[in-house]
Amino acid sequence: MKRLLFEKLILMGIFLVFYFLIELITFSWLGLSVLPEYLLIDLVIAIVFASIALLMKSHRASIAYLSTILFIFAIIALTNQTMNIELNGEIFSVYQLLYADEAVNVFTADFIHWDAIVTLIAVGIIYGLTIRYSKKAFFKKYHFTKGYHLKVIPLYLVTLLVGVTGINMTKTFTHYNDLYNVSLFKRESINHYGMMGFYFKEVDILLFDAGSRLYELEDLEDNFVNENPNLYNESDLLIPYAGLLEGKNVITIMLESGQGFAVNEVLTPNLHRVTTEGLYFPNHYSENKTNVSEVIGILGHYPSQGIIPSYYHYDFRASMPYVLEDEGYHTAYFHENVETFYARGDLMPELGFEDIYLHQELFPDELIYGWGGDYTLDSRTMLRMFDFMFKEDSDEPFYYFWSTLSMHGPYNRNYPSVRGKNNLQKFTDLGYFDQIDQAEENGQWTNIMADSPDDADPGRFRFYQAAVMDFDVALGLLLDRLEEENLLDDTIIMIYGDHNLYYHQMHLRIHDVEAGDIHETDMYKTFFAIYNPILTNAYLSNHPGEDTSIEKFVTPYDILPTYYHLLGIEYYKNFTLGESVLTDRQTVFYSHKISAFFNETYFSFDDETIDYPQGINVNDDLDALSFILKARDITDKILWLELWTDVTKTEKNN
């Protein structure tokens, strides 16, 4: 049996060597250090998993088990490399498995990096050859192994218990065991604890975390911080903003991949109207997935460990729908997609919407579109939404949230559609491309990707511009209908972009940025405007001689505080990470996608140091120190919100 155990140890050793080889490659792809800072944690967890091979009498079973683990981490490595490059710095998390179907739907062949695949295949081949020749050199064909399991299992369990107990008494492992969130700073967590350390802890927290049991709901409610916008000191303003639009209707539009450079006076006259007659914020930054940006615009934050509405009820009492429902509003959510996508059919009622209008309500007699490019046009969706938005027998103020669709990539695809025409053909038939060409000829529009090193980019940007034009038609229909209903002055319209134009890595070439330079934050500027004639007049009265373009750094976290400011509604600051854009208060953006903080000047992967610009000493730079202090405040809020989510959620009786 000793010989057999010796051979098992050889297999374990080979596994560890190749696991760390994959980790070295992954760290290189992600731009991390050479090895984890706490290498011992990574090594111990890897050894524990590898040691399970000792319990298998058959070498074939041991090799299959170890190879499976190695294969899983190779896939994780490839996934991280792909997400880091194609999704601009994103790190894979086990929580993202909740949305695996969504990822498959939007995945395109453009995301494949064959050099990475070849690298990992080469590692696999070398691993296989190493196993083969090690068996020839060191393994014997026959062993007398009667009673193997009876001897090995007790020895294994005692050794494991003693070893793990001893290691857990060390300061390093005590700190690791006490962690209840490693997902807040994913990149830094992998850098600290390695792949094994990070993903094991994520699974441990997801399945077995008991930290929330130390808290009661009353304990957390005692920590509520009330914010009353009516008490803001606005005495220096001719017209205060607090309560200026009390009781007005609210329409929030999350603009899919919406960016300001597509606004054009000729091609998108309604967006141009909103940016010149409304308040326009060209320095709005957002870098998150669509579902995260959406929830932030409704809830004021996003739980750092995700939401699983199919299995849990949540206490989202501080969401915009719940708050406005308490104020007597009718609330409704609109999006042309199926209820299972991002679990919106379960999520939106949890967030407090009274009515939810998805594909089966909007277009029940039609097949759902394909993700290659035959989406239902926003202009057509808006016309259908009118059937539910304006009801003659209702005198309630309303709150509507609409997530748009037409501008979702990929772009310029002649996609085969079982529903009829794809969007390339629709845009052609609607004359959008002719209008673009005419505007370009007249010097009224410039293709910002005309000089791109990728020959396909000019056509892609024309397609994107056409998609923005279709949304502009939808916006025009909405503005006209509000005027017809005499509701334009009585409605606040807020439009914000969920993320940048990331498909085909266009965001990199637009900003002349290399893949991996995720600290170049200009890439993350997205559209943001507030339209209400009363508000515009108040702003111009308060800022005579200025236009309505406001250069302040703002983010989607600022949406709810801004609404509450204008509507004069008290709220709890615990549930919002931003500030009203109409105050002098400065904010910092936290991206769940890239696990980083930033504003227009500073970028940090944690809440302690400035990563970019490099070489800044926080103690010698007051602005940098202010940034870090705001980041730490947001960190504390996110961790408190995680406790709140865990304490208040209850299982559904499915």
CA–centroid distance for 67 within its chain? 32
**pLDDT tens track for 606-646:** 999 999 999 898 988 999 999 999 999 999 999 899 889 88
Q: Mean pLDDT for each 10-residue chunk of the chain (654 residues)?
A: 80 95 95 90 91 86 94 94 80 76 57 87 96 87 66 75 69 78 88 93 76 70 93 95 98 97 98 98 96 97 86 94 97 96 95 97 94 92 95 84 95 89 96 98 97 96 98 98 96 97 92 90 96 98 96 98 98 96 96 93 93 91 95 93 88 78
CATH of domain 228-594: 3.40.720.10
Question: What pLDDT is attached to residue 104?
Answer: 55
Domain segments of the chain as ranges: 2-209, 228-594
Residue 550: Cβ-neighbour burial (10 angstroms; 0-12, 13-18, 19+): buried
* CA-angle at 308, arms to 303 and 309, nearest 5°: 110
Question: What pLDDT is attached to residue 106?
Answer: 56
DSSP 387-420: HHH--TT--S-EEEEEE--TT-S--S-----TTS
pTM for the predicted model, two decimal places: 0.88
Tell whether the torsion through CA atoms of 567, 568, 574 and 579 is positive or negative.
positive
Question: What pLDDT is attached to residue 398?
Answer: 97
Query: Rounded to whole angstroms, what are the CA distances from 76 to 23, 30, 82, 321, 416?
Result: 10, 12, 10, 38, 32
**pLDDT tens track for 334-359:** 999 999 999 999 999 999 999 999 99
